[in-house]
Structure 1
Amino acid sequence: MKPILKSLSLFGICLSLSAASLFADVSIFSELKKSLEEKTKTFQMENGLRVLMMKREDSPTIAVYSKFLVGSADETPEIAGTAHLLEHMLFKGTKNIGTTDYEKEKPYLEQITVWGKRLDSLRIQELEMKSRGEEPSSEFKSRLEILQKRFSVLLELHRKFIISNEDNYIYSRNGGVGFNAYTSNDVTNYQILLPSNRLEIWAKLESDRLKNPILREYYTERDVVLEERRMRVENRGLGILREKYMDAAFSEEHPYRMPVIGYEKNLGFLDLEKTQTFFKKYYDPQRMVIAVVGSLDFDQTEKILRTYFGDLKKGTPQKQKKIPVGGFAGPKFVSVVHPSTPSKIIGFNKPAFPDPDDAVFSIIDTLLAEGDSGRLYKKLVIDEQIAQGVYCWNGDPGDRLSNLFSIYITNNQNADQKKVENLVQEELERLKTEPITSEELFKIKNQILAGYLRGLDDNGKLADVLSLYQLLYGDWKELLKGYEELDAVTPEDVQRVAKKYFVLENRTIAELNPPAKENTPSPK
């Protein structure tokens, strides 16, 4: 057993689980846990900002991930999409970066704010008139057209001050790669991979981004995000289907109903000043975690980060939303017609981690859809040949609040939707009546851990997952606790969870069908 441990180092992973289970040998998992803890150090600044540092000496590089506890779950329907738009805007520079001369640029920015608000107001009035069946007067149209032209000229005059992607250029000159970001329902993340001796350059740029952000090009970027939504949602059947599915599956007060990218009806009118207020409210050091993983010195790294981020001002703590799973609200069904591949989503409401039932759903996820041996994959794709693919998502769409266990099926073109539904339900019923064997459970636990370890084969992946656990649960070690809970799952737990949650009263079904073909008359 000991030679296996050598090949399992989280700091140069080469995994083989053919001999025995990590879960089965407590000493191996304990040594693995100890190795992680010895190479990781955390500290918290007086302003609440938390930092996680992990030493990995396999290459002279570091991955730096900054996460903020802000996502679509922190929005209201009226400002849906703000967190994602703000992520875009924070790449537009600061008072010091992205501009040829901020003092000369400033008057233009002020005028853009004033005139942009007026233009939005007129456009909203126009939409309201049309919604009432009223035709805007020629005077109104003329006023709107003049304002649009003046605003376009103002934006063009402002462009002479813009230096696009200056931060990315600085990083590239210093060996940085992978400078990027993402927004989810739960968090907003910023990331980069750098040579180890370039941490201070990162700290200077990123602290400036938080202290002196300038949301330049706001109105043009808002249009970019609106087009992104059209491409990702309106033009893709699965995008529409998933949005309708979330809306049906969650109660009205649940924040996960809203899409990260926002709604088409309000994206084009997101207010600049409200977006600035959103930034001040949620980009708070108390809601922030920095993870640095790679070849580093703990003391030197801490000194640099305290120097640049220690003076960030903390705001008023925001209460964390707690949405219980609650009672089952009855079966729900939504249907979408779109010229895309026919698809189906079947989901069940469930609690989030660290509820122990979440670990059981991870077992069920792998049992049903992991690889060719997954029960649903085997039945729907291989045996019945009724689907092209099937996968499960435990924790759909996030982990901060109660969420969903979702089953996504891409059907074959002429598949019977009802048959697909019945076959899925048969497998779920089987979980209630036929206990999973100990051998099958043993294999699944190994699969999950092996897959996880293989996924942590570079600095970036480690920084991403560790910073997420530190942010959401207050301690990255909750990740290890989660795997201990997974190891404790029994065949009886799988049966119990299946009986409790896989019931019609807790089921949401969303299906996508292509438009019906019109019958064309035969030629005479």
Structure 2
Amino acid sequence: MCFILGILKLFIVCFKVQIFHHKKSSKVLIILGIYLCISNVSVYADTAIFSGLKKSLEEKTRTFQMENGLNVLMMKREDSPTIAVYTKFLVGSADETPEIAGTAHLLEHMLFKGTKNIGTTNYEKEKPYLEQIAVWGKRLDTLRLKELEMKEKGEEPSDEFKNQIETLKKRFYSLLELHRKFVISNEDNYIYSKNGGVGFNAYTSNDVTNYQILLPANRLEIWAKLESDRLKNPILREYYTERDVVLEERRMRVENRGLGILREKYLDAAFPEGHPYRMPVIGYEKNLGFLDLEKTKTFFKNYYDPQRMVIAVVGSLDFDKTEKILRNYFGDLKKGSLQPLKKTTQAGFNGSKFVSVVHPSTPSKIIGFHKPAFPHPDDAVFSIIDTLLAEGESGRLYKKLILEKQVAQGVYCWNGDPGDRFSNLFSIYITNNQNADQKKVENLVQEELDKLKTELITSEELFRIKNQILGGYLRALDDNGKLADVLSLYQLLYGDWRELLRGYEELDTVTPEDVQRVAKKYFVPENRTIAELNPPAKGAGN
């Protein structure tokens, strides 16, 4: 179930940013396309065109806040009789501690398990089974954790203790099997499908948790009924089974993939102890199998608060009717004691860091530098550098590492790694060729970064990059879902979706001198973290 280069950071986590498009603005888009192809004046700099786009966006967008703090964003697009509905919560792995790491992601899975009304043949008959499962599950976790602690101390559990665990485990799994007769799997998805819904899905990131669907425009009330029920009456059924699923997901994504381990070690090295961005979204293998059901319920109550929530509806809609439906179903959500946002004392450079991982995978390297997050003006400069270095075959690192020196098979940059609620990283990810020398790859990357310090990029190159970024927006215009995704994100993180537009404007102010200044300031050894992955030496372990 998983912004822009720079502002488009969310491309990396499957988001895409685009500008609003409707039939009446198609002429403007044609003009923009012509500008991209033949003009030698930046599209960004054409105030009349950009102002027209801004005005169109603002005319077709309306926001309101309910008394409980829930924010709603509506954008009218009449291209088809459909809507995209994206619901975001300001909760992700950044809100966790090491002991509960992975809870936000597990909770995302659990909220697809239904409610008192959905996903069950008879909740009143099911309830005693759920209560007993919770009791025995907690007891079994306690015994398993004690066994693990004994083994870590070098102590061997007694046969009596082992038998106690096995006996309880058999009883517990028998109870889980009995409980299954009450479960109607994916009933909500079935209801959506019968009503023309597609793309029912969710994802969790370091910063947010998102739920999404595309629907016929006249099915909004069905969505509102199902989703408000999900928030008011969630039942975390099949908790222990799903916890095992997530644990296996971690093994596939991290333990069995060298890049997964490398990235986790990289972020651990880059950020100091206690920093929110040290928490992996998937959680840690050691604690995932012991995440407590009651603590997960408490996490839901604390963070799935309407004050930390944005609903975005984009498509063929009537503002007044949409607002009435949403107020009717979500207006009575109870707001809680708002959880304080985590703060970070990370002020900047953290000293040079290096970490090495041995894993039977393709050799890889990550080179990263601390930087401020959007809306700091330097973030826009990093967006330019991102595209300059690694966007397509024209990227400087692509040409140097892959085409010229043939030491790598892949390279990409991530401006805003791993999120945007706190200061973050500009990261360069390289997949080496099998026999490439790691130090040589590192030196080649550093050479390109040093060029940015000593040689100004040309105005023509900067012009091309800005229009290349804008071209990415224009190619993704006709998608309600992508619009709902990014608009809800900006509304949630920055309190106003218009910050997205301000980000576009910020990009056009970037000069060659800005690129040089930022390179000199941030691309320095004392601000650098390097993580490299190498396969085991031949014969190792034999």
Counterpart Cα distance in 2 of 1:153 and 1:321: 42
Counterpart Cα distance in 1 of 2:152 and 2:201: 40
Pair 33,169 (structure 1): closer, same or farther in 2 beyond 3 Å: same
Preserved contact between residue 324 and residue 351 of structure 1 (Cα < 8 Å): no
Pair 8,249 (structure 1): closer, same or farther in 2 beyond 3 Å: farther
Preserved contact between residue 67 and residue 187 of structure 1 (Cα < 8 Å): yes
Preserved contact between residue 93 and residue 206 of structure 2 (Cα < 8 Å): yes
Match of 1:64 among 85, 99, 109: 85
Residues 119-518 of structure 1 aligned to structure 2 (within 5 Å): 119-518=140-539
Pair 269,336 (structure 1): closer, same or farther in 2 beyond 3 Å: same
Preserved contact between residue 15 and residue 453 of structure 1 (Cα < 8 Å): no
- TM normalised by structure 2 equals 0.93
C-alpha deviation, 1:221, in angstroms = 0.1
Preserved contact between residue 7 and residue 14 of structure 1 (Cα < 8 Å): no
**What is residue 35 of structure 1 aligned with on the other side?**
56
Counterpart Cα distance in 2 of 1:452 and 1:221: 37
Asked if 1:113 corresponds to 2:131, the answer is no
Counterpart Cα distance in 2 of 1:97 and 1:321: 34
C-alpha deviation, 1:8, in angstroms = 4.8
Counterpart Cα distance in 1 of 2:348 and 2:504: 28
Preserved contact between residue 15 and residue 454 of structure 1 (Cα < 8 Å): no
Pair 150,451 (structure 1): closer, same or farther in 2 beyond 3 Å: same
Pair 221,333 (structure 1): closer, same or farther in 2 beyond 3 Å: same
Unmatched 5+ residue regions in structure 2? 1-23
Q: Specify the SS of the correspondent of 2:451.
A: helix
Counterpart Cα distance in 2 of 1:153 and 1:249: 46
Amino acid at match of 1:300: K
Q: Specify the SS of the correspondent of 2:466.
A: helix
- Of residues 268-277 and 450-459 in structure 1, the stretch that sits farther from structure 2 once superposed is 450-459
Amino acid at match of 2:354: F
- Of residues 159-168 and 444-453 in structure 1, the stretch that sits farther from structure 2 once superposed is 444-453
Preserved contact between residue 324 and residue 402 of structure 1 (Cα < 8 Å): no
Q: Specify the SS of the correspondent of 1:409.
A: strand
Counterpart Cα distance in 1 of 2:541 and 2:225: 67
Preserved contact between residue 49 and residue 288 of structure 1 (Cα < 8 Å): yes
C-alpha deviation, 1:7, in angstroms = 4.7
Preserved contact between residue 396 and residue 406 of structure 1 (Cα < 8 Å): yes
C-alpha deviation, 1:516, in angstroms = 1.1
Counterpart Cα distance in 2 of 1:342 and 1:170: 46
Unmatched 5+ residue regions in structure 1? none
Counterpart Cα distance in 2 of 1:425 and 1:520: 34
C-alpha deviation, 1:15, in angstroms = 7.9
C-alpha deviation, 1:26, in angstroms = 1.1
Match of 2:103 among 65, 82, 97: 82
Q: Specify the SS of the correspondent of 1:193.
A: strand
**CA deviations over 1:174-204 (Å, ceiling 9, x no partner):** 0000000000000000000000000000000
**CA deviations over 1:369-426 (Å, ceiling 9, x no partner):** 0111111111001111111111000000101111000000111110010000000001
Counterpart Cα distance in 1 of 2:87 and 2:380: 27
**How many residues were matched structurally?**
517
Q: Specify the SS of the correspondent of 1:424.
A: helix
Amino acid at match of 1:17: L
Counterpart Cα distance in 1 of 2:391 and 2:174: 55
Q: Specify the SS of the correspondent of 1:339.
A: coil
Pair 497,66 (structure 1): closer, same or farther in 2 beyond 3 Å: same
Counterpart Cα distance in 1 of 2:496 and 2:163: 59
Counterpart Cα distance in 2 of 1:178 and 1:165: 14
Counterpart Cα distance in 2 of 1:256 and 1:110: 35
Counterpart Cα distance in 2 of 1:18 and 1:325: 43
**CA deviations over 1:333-377 (Å, ceiling 9, x no partner):** 111111111111000011100011100100000010011111111
Preserved contact between residue 5 and residue 28 of structure 1 (Cα < 8 Å): no
If asked which structure has higher relative contact order (CA below 8 Å, sep 6+), I would say: 2
Asked if 1:95 corresponds to 2:104, the answer is no
Q: Specify the SS of the correspondent of 1:394.
A: strand
**What is residue 18 of structure 1 aligned with on the other side?**
37
C-alpha deviation, 1:17, in angstroms = 1.2
Amino acid at match of 2:292: D
Amino acid at match of 1:435: L
Amino acid at match of 1:234: E
Preserved contact between residue 66 and residue 288 of structure 1 (Cα < 8 Å): yes
C-alpha deviation, 1:139, in angstroms = 1.0
Pair 512,290 (structure 1): closer, same or farther in 2 beyond 3 Å: same
**What is residue 7 of structure 2 aligned with on the other side?**
none
Counterpart Cα distance in 2 of 1:322 and 1:219: 32
C-alpha deviation, 1:23, in angstroms = 1.0
CA RMSD of aligned residues (A): 1.8
Preserved contact between residue 329 and residue 505 of structure 1 (Cα < 8 Å): yes
Preserved contact between residue 28 and residue 49 of structure 2 (Cα < 8 Å): no
Q: Percent identity?
A: 84
Counterpart Cα distance in 1 of 2:252 and 2:475: 32
C-alpha deviation, 1:327, in angstroms = 4.0
C-alpha deviation, 1:14, in angstroms = 7.0
- TM normalised by structure 1 equals 0.96
C-alpha deviation, 1:19, in angstroms = 2.4
Asked if 1:73 corresponds to 2:90, the answer is no
Preserved contact between residue 413 and residue 427 of structure 2 (Cα < 8 Å): yes
Amino acid at match of 1:182: Y
Counterpart Cα distance in 1 of 2:441 and 2:345: 31
C-alpha deviation, 1:455, in angstroms = 2.9
Amino acid at match of 2:58: E
Preserved contact between residue 363 and residue 535 of structure 2 (Cα < 8 Å): yes
**CA deviations over 1:219-250 (Å, ceiling 9, x no partner):** 00000000000000000000000000000001
**What is residue 14 of structure 2 aligned with on the other side?**
none
